Structure 1
Amino acid sequence: MIEARELSRRFGSITAVDQLNFRLKTNGITGFLGPNGAGKTTTIRMITGALAASSGSVLIGGKDSFEDVDALRGKIGYLPERPPLVPELSVKEQLAYVASIKGVTLDSSLSERCGITEVWSQLQGELSKGYRQRVGLACALVGTPDLLILDEPTSGLDPHQVESMRHLVKSIGEEQTVLLSTHLLPEVELLCDHVLMISRGRLVADESLENLLEFHGGSLQTAFLDRCGFTESTP
């Protein structure tokens, strides 16, 4: 179980994240939505331990992640929009490096699971955008983390790559807890079973996708605009 309790972050007089409370159920995919500047990135940075909270806590398996960041870091896998891959390393070397940092043995099945077997020995600087995303996802999966955070995993991919990535993420969500941060509402409708939505740093939705759609006439766009304080006529 991953849980945020009164999670807040202030930068001087500005409150970027304001007393968030939510739980992510074990297994399944939760969509994380919000307009630009809503506090999504700040929240993700706090969950991953990259940024300290001003107040509140993040509990992973009942343990406060801020009290022992090193011990819990291996329980979180994170795929940023642009995976930080070393161009001079091969895919195999990159994953071995990540495994060494996490202090785990590299699971050889990751190459097949993430569809990167054919580029296993290739230098990452030579990879296509689609393969870079797949390698980044494999890096995030090293050590079988309790929580996998994906930030715009289909950004910049062609239609075939998008479909392939969706299938992969969907299969991962059947076995692990996934938090999917995206601006693409169709991705949430296709992949997620639950939705968290924030606006101006505050939680405005925490419910199943089914209930959210039912309440807003079957439209996730309407739900997003209503909950975040916009109207459909807003440019």
Structure 2
Amino acid sequence: MLKLDGLTKTYAGQRGVSSVSFEVARGEVVGFVGPNGAGKTTTLRMIAGTLEPDEGTVQVLGQDVWSNRQAAQAMMGYLPEHAPLYDDMTPRTYLDFLLSAREVTRKQRPDLISQAAIRTQVADVLDRRIEGLSKGYRRRVALAGALAHDPPVLVLDEPSDGLDPNQKRVTRVLIRELSPGRIILISTHQLDEVVNVCSRLILIADGQVRADQSPADFAAQDQNGQIDEVFYRLTKRPDEAAS
């Protein structure tokens, strides 16, 4: 289980995330949604162990992210919103580098690289320099990097960013295929992606959890079943004009 308990982070005296708590079990694909500045990326960075909370804890399959960071991170695949790529590398050498950093043996790496490349449909560009790849390919190479060590927990920040409709479809199918037996948390601005891929929706606004339910139950709060209308009502600021 992925377990967050009271995560809090303050920036320049203002709380970016305030006492966020939830759990995600194996087999769940959870959509983590909210407006810009709501605290989504901050929360994901704390889960991944790249940002330390002021208060609260994160446990990944029983391992505390801060007291046992290496053990916790070994079980996670993390795709940041702006994942760093090395333009002078090829996807193959990039994935090999990531696996090497995770202390995966040289013998195991070729099969894992091939599996990740096939899953993300970048096998045809494995030996091209990253600097010459399109935005969609670059994003899928970054996703391959998160998947390469075949982790039981995936934390993905905007995995479909920069993908065309066909590539988004492939990525959604991949996430569904990966979900059995895994914990998957996806931050996204695309509510249709949540409806099509996720079994659960967690809405955060102003650094606090405002909803935690199935996408269908969330949408049912609008008489016409419009999920974007419910999202707007729960996240609009007082100074925004009523629709």
Residue 35 (str. 1) matches residue 40 (str. 2) = no
The AA in structure 2 aligned to 1:17 is: V
Q: For 2:32, what is the secondary structure of its paired residue?
A: strand
* Distance in 2 of aligned mates of 1:110 and 1:6: 34
Give SS of 1:224's match. helix
1:47 Cα offset (Å)? 0.5
Aligned to 1:225: 232
Q: Which letter maps to 2:121?
A: G
1:205 partner SS: strand
Instruction: Tell me the CA shift for residue 192 of structure 1.
Output: 1.0
Cα deviation for residue 173 of structure 1 reads 2.5
Alpha-carbon displacement from aligned partner over 1:44-80 (angstroms, at most 9, x marks no partner): 1101111111111001112211112122112121222
Matched residue, 1:211: 217
Write the distance in 2 (CA, Å) between the matches of 1:221 and 1:30: 17
Corresponding residue for residue 55 of structure 2: 55
- Residue of structure 1 in register with 2:163 after alignment: 157
Q: Is the 8 A contact 1:9 1:18 kept in 2?
A: yes
Change (3 A) 1:170 1:234: farther
Identity %: 34
Residues 158-204 of structure 1 show CA distances to partners (whole Å, capped at 9, x for unaligned) of: 22222222222232234522111111111111111101111111111
Residues 3, 24 of structure 2: 8 Å contact kept? yes
Contact 1:193 1:210 in 2 (8 A): no
AA aligned opposite 1:120? L
In the TM superposition, 1:1-235 aligns within 5 A as 1-104=1-104, 105-106=108-109, 107=112, 108-217=114-223, 218-229=225-236, 234=242
2:27/2:180 contact within 8 Å kept: yes
TM-score norm. by structure 2 comes to 0.89
Structure 1 residue 222, shift from structure 2 partner: 2.2
In structure 1, give the amino acid aligned to 2:92. K
| Separation in 1, partners of 2:24, 2:157 | 16
CA displacement, residues 16-49 of structure 1 (integer Å, 9 cap, x when unaligned): 1111110012123111111111111111110111
Runs of 4+ in 1 over 6 A off after TM superposition: none
Give CA-to-partner distance per residue, 1:104-128, whole Å, 9 cap, x none.
2421322222222211211111212
Instruction: Give the distance between the partners of 1:197 and 1:211, measured in 2 at CA.
Output: 13
Kindly report the root-mean-square deviation, in angstroms, between the aligned alpha carbons of the 2 structures: 2.0
Which amino acid is the alignment partner of residue 165 of structure 1?
T
User: Is the 2:44–2:157 contact (alpha carbons within 8 Å) kept by the matching residues of 1?
Assistant: no
Amino acid at match of 2:184: V
On the 8 A contact 2:34/2:205 being kept in 1, the answer is yes
- 2:33, 2:201 within 8 Å by CA — same for their partners in 1? yes
